[in-house]
A and B are shown apart, each in its own frame.
Chain A
């Protein structure tokens, strides 16, 4: 069970309070109608699923009800940082 630092509440809380929100930093296309089916499908369905560093959304559902981003190692499950929506991660790359 993960221990997650909510960048909004400024506290470590148990994973039970959160729910997972999928890969972060996927912007919705501004003009969906101009995209081909393949381009739209890429936005809609395809995710990176890396082994190692992954930027993902979490939702503090039973806390502040804010979405935020986390950088997590998908191998060790270590959470390397959490940061506000709309900001960029400090830790990037693919390998842990």
Chain B
């Protein structure tokens, strides 16, 4: 049989159901109920990866999310997932796994070269080595990433679907170990809506590997019974394979449910994973604890494991990961592993106990089995390369700080260690509760609750099963009561279970070596990132005192296990090096996510076309049919340009622009924001918001205004029309519409509630077609007979109500091109009809549809700014050479006015908007280019400003640009330069920002 470590006792697995899988390209077999880790151990696989820095061979160390070494790439192609822990991957038929660490192979790799130089890579190695010369970083990084391997993300689209579910419950129980199960039962019987979630494939937690009897039943039978009991409650939702990975504000918790990951790499049907977004009235945390390994020399050799992991593989998975066990302990609890191993029929070489004269119940049971107990001893070093061959043990002093006698060597192939347990305080820590060190249990405990939660059982530092059951039941009843259910009294009798009295444990973290820590072989604290005890001591020698700094300097806790295994040991070693206790050294803060979460689950269905809404105008289909290329403006899809056959973008834009200048063009301007404003105080309100006054704007008239933030900087611009007395229509920029409406509401609601004025967004209610060019009037005259279009009666900045092709319309004579323009507004449902009528009417003038690119060129020729392109939130109207738009004599101090007088707003040398004309008429400046006076000056150059807009103007026959330049308005005629990254430079002359028709004769026509 190839599975040489498979025991006859199957545990929770089904040995009749064989599953085939591959690891690093080789075929293996496991059984149903295995994790990838238990199957690898069953097959006697020792080396599963290489460490990140020293490329040391590493084996499976743990059995859950604390696993630091067995980091796997699962599957291939579009569904592959990197960086899963083999201890958390359920085996299925055909599973493909590969080590993420170890190129080209885990057993022989090129990083051995670096491994040989391990001594040359102290903590701070990355900072010290790679920061200089900076240029080489890319080379180093490429090499190290490739060699060390961080897994690879799929490059194709994920074929699976993911779901998000919003849930509410009264009591959320996190963890379905002994405490969680009874907590859920107590809450459930009150009628409260209960969700109980557990990250493992089945409920039970530590009981799944327990040999204790509960209520006279095996622990696993008791679990099965209570799980079934919970299932009978209609108010209980049971979620196995579901990790509560984050605890957020106001009792909002996120659960990742892995629905089909245990069935195959891709979901056979339905969503692969589901993210539950839960708002819970009350929470019971029953997340258990992690065993702490002892830190000793070469404790990272494959074959060194956690004591509880050895027991779990034996009892739950029916796998014995070795033959001859040496167990190193500081406590009674771990003696169970010696008993479990003894019953496999394999050899327990010795139990090495750091304490003198241990005599607890489990200790005596082990002694009775005839197992050698080395009291007052430490396991100081493991010997071996790709598998443990020997354990070196020696007597140590009572304080556990030095070796006091001769070293003896024990032949073995498996070392299990236990330095006690650390409460899994992660979720409590997410809430901001500050963990408290409790020396009596040698663990942090959850801090004072910041939210509606309580911890129960091992995650609270209550490590005995019986005590955990009592605490869990109380927590469940209390949570239900606070959520409004029941009286808070426990109803079910406490399960019967033998209480095992334990003698005190010893708080020992680093086992002393006969050499000093700095000279001893590496004693690893964080396996993933090769952080050793000596490295932490060195960090202290180099002056680091804060645990947060030491963590960053050494990278302790920065691997994908996030320090679940090593953080407490690291803190204890740091505390000792600083000559202080753990409590004074600080605490450990955990943040979401508890374990890595897939992007797929976070995104859910919000992908592809559902990622963000797209907004279309009523004319959209016409644009699509006419071959338009589109541009995203906010959520709007706007025609960018309308290329004809074989036309480049520049050719299309040249043609469209010339058509407007020489005959007539048509633009879909529907997307401009439109806010309907009504009320007796509307004019007063609008006048407070804009820089200029609207108090005397008569019905039928429009005015262009600029809106400032209170700091005096331009925020939006647009035209506002008086529709009738107390009724206005405000146009905003396309992107600014929502922000402007909120801005108006803010001031009306919070500052001037006495002003009677009402706002309604009508952007989507109207479709707008802009007809512009010298022939615009002729086109409009063909479709509109009830408006007198003569310039004297319908002038520039007027608007009229009338009928266009039989549809009631508002026609505005406003212009963003500098040409005679009519903006025809009709109810949105008539948009496409009116558009087509105008196209037809303009056919004889070759009316040309144009897009946003041509719109930009035409407005730049006129020097019209685009807020957000030519301004950036630091520009006043004066900076934009638009002082004319500021009403200096308005009675009310409009928003932003006072700031225009601030010393910084009136200082000399502010950047001002100017035009740039390149000396080479065909050279188009890059937008964003920096402006300098002398391109030959040394870098860093003295920068004078930057180019904000730049185009080639077909109607002018040369390129044009707008720029903001320090003191630019008084530098007309100067030559400036725009240097590029490649060393070239373009020279340009500072000119007026109005390139075309400076008198405005054409738009006023």
- The one of A1, A35, A40, A85 in contact with B749, judged by C-beta atoms closer than 8 angstroms, is A85
Q: How far is the CA of A86 from the CA of B711 in the complex (A)?
A: 24
Closest 9 CB pairs of A and B: A32-B898, A3-B250, A32-B893, A77-B249, A67-B749, A1-B252, A85-B750, A76-B450, A2-B249
Q: List 15 A-B contacts (CB under 8 A).
A: A1-B249, A2-B250, A3-B279, A28-B751, A32-B893, A32-B898, A33-B893, A37-B903, A45-B711, A75-B432, A76-B450, A78-B250, A79-B250, A85-B750, A85-B753
11 further A-B contacts with Cβ under 8 Å, apart from A32-B893, A76-B450, are A1-B250, A21-B750, A40-B902, A44-B711, A45-B711, A65-B745, A66-B749, A67-B749, A76-B432, A77-B250, A85-B750
A9 in contact (CB, < 8 A):
no
Within 8 A of A (CB), among B740-774: 742, 745-746, 749-751, 753
Kindly list chain B residues whose C-beta atoms are within 8 Å of the C-beta of A94: none
Across the interface, which residues of B come within 8 angstroms of A28, CB to CB?
A: 710, 751
C-beta contact mask, A53-96 vs B, less than 8 Å → 1, else 0? Answer: 00001010100011100000001111100000110000000000
Note all chain A residues with C-beta closer than 8 A to B898: 32-33, 35, 40
Contact of A48 with B by CB under 8 A: no
- Complex CA distance for A79 and B897, rounded to whole angstroms: 35
Most buried by B among A2, A19, A33, A44: A44
Q: Is the CB of A21 within 8 A of B893?
A: no
B711 neighbours in A (Cβ, 8 Å)? 44-45
Rounded to whole angstroms, the CA-CA distance of A86 and B749 in the bound complex is 9
Contacting residues, chain A, for B750 (C-beta < 8 A): 21, 57, 67, 85
Q: Measured between alpha carbons, how far is A41 from B745 in the docked complex, in Å? A: 24
Which residues does chain A contribute within 8 Å of B248, judged by CB atoms? 1
Q: Is B13 at the interface (CB under 8 A from chain A)?
A: no
In the complex, what residues of A have CB within 8 A of residue B903's CB?
37
Which residues of the other chain, A, contact B753 by a CB distance below 8 angstroms?
85-86
Interface residues of A (CB under 8 A from B): 1-3, 19, 21, 27-28, 31-33, 35, 37, 40-41, 44-45, 57, 59, 61, 65-67, 75-79, 85-86
Q: Which residues of A contact B751 (CB under 8 A)?
A: 27-28
Q: Which residues of A contact B251 (CB under 8 A)?
A: 3
Q: Which residue of B lies closest to A45 (CB)?
A: B711
Partner pick for A32 among B250, B742, B749, B897, CB 8 A cutoff: B897
CB-CB under 8 A from A2, the residues of chain B are: 249-250
State the CA gap A31–B742 with chains docked (Å): 24
Once bound together, how far apart are the Cα atoms of A16 and B897, in whole Å? 34
Residues of A within 8 A of B742 (CB): 19, 59, 61
Report yes or no: B893 in contact with A3, Cβ–Cβ below 8 A: no
CB closest residue in chain A, given B903: A37
Q: Which of B698-717 contact A (CB under 8 A)?
A: 710-711
Minimum distance in angstroms from A25 CB to a CB of chain B: 10
A31 touching B745 by the CB < 8 A rule? no
Residues of A within 8 A of B249 (CB): 1-2, 77
B contact face: mostly helix, strand, loop, or mixed: mixed
Give every chain B residue within 8 A of A3 (Cβ-Cβ).
250-252, 279
Cβ of A18 to closest chain B Cβ, rounded Å = 12
Q: Which of B711, B746, B897, B898 has the most CB of A within 10 A?
A: B898
Decide yes or no: A67 and B432 within 8 Å by CB, A1-B252, A3-B279 being known contacts: no
> Inside 8 A of A85's CB, which chain B residues have their CB?
749-750, 753
Q: Is B899 an interface residue (CB 8 A)?
A: yes
B676 → chain A closest CB, angstroms:
15
- Complex interface: chain A residues within 8 A of B279 (CB): 3
Enumerate B229-258 residues with CB–CB distance to A below 8 Å. 248-252
Residue numbers in A under 8 Å from B252 (CB-CB): 1, 3
In the bound complex, CA of A19 to CA of B560 (Å): 34
Chain B neighbourhood of A57, CB < 8 A? 750
| Identity of the chain A residue whose Cβ is nearest the Cβ of B753 in the assembled complex | A86
Distance of A41 from chain B, by nearest CB (Å): 8
A85-B251 Cα distance, complex, nearest whole Å:
27
Establish whether residues B432 and A37, one from each chain, have CB atoms under 8 Å apart when the complex forms: no
Cα–Cα, bound, A85→B248 (Å)? 28
Chain A residue, CB-CB nearest to B749: A67
Please report the C-alpha to C-alpha distance between residue A32 and residue B895 in the assembled complex, in whole angstroms: 10
Complexed CA–CA distance, A79 and B893 (Å): 35
* Bound CA–CA A67/B248 (angstroms): 25
CA distance A45 to B709 in the complex (A): 12
Residue of A with least CB distance to B711: A44
Contact present for B749 and A44 (CB under 8 Å): no
* Per-residue A-contact encoding for B284-299, CB less than 8 Å = 1, 0 else: 0000000000000000
C-alpha gap A27/B751 in the complex (Å): 7
Q: From the candidates A37, A44, A67, name the one contacting B745 in the complex (CB within 8 A).
A: A67
Shortest distance between the CB of A90 and any CB in chain B (Å)? 19
Chain A residues in 8 Å Cβ range of B899: 40, 44
A95-B710 Cα distance, complex, nearest whole Å: 31
Q: How far is the CA of A57 from the CA of B746 in the complex (A)?
A: 10
Expressed in whole angstroms, the minimum distance between the Cβ of A34 and any Cβ of chain B is 10
Q: Contacting B710 at CB < 8 Å: which of A37, A44, A65, A77?
A: A44
Closest to A75 in B: B432
**How far, in whole Å, are A66 and B899 apart by their CA atoms in the complex?**
28
Name the residue of chain A whose CB is nearest to the CB of B254: A1
CB proximity of B539 to chain A, nearest CB, Å? 31
Q: Which of B249, B250, B742, B750 has the most CB of A within 10 A?
A: B750
Q: Determine the chain A residues whose CB is within 8 A of the CB of B746 once the complex forms.
A: 21, 59, 67
* Nearest CB on A from B163, distance (A): 18
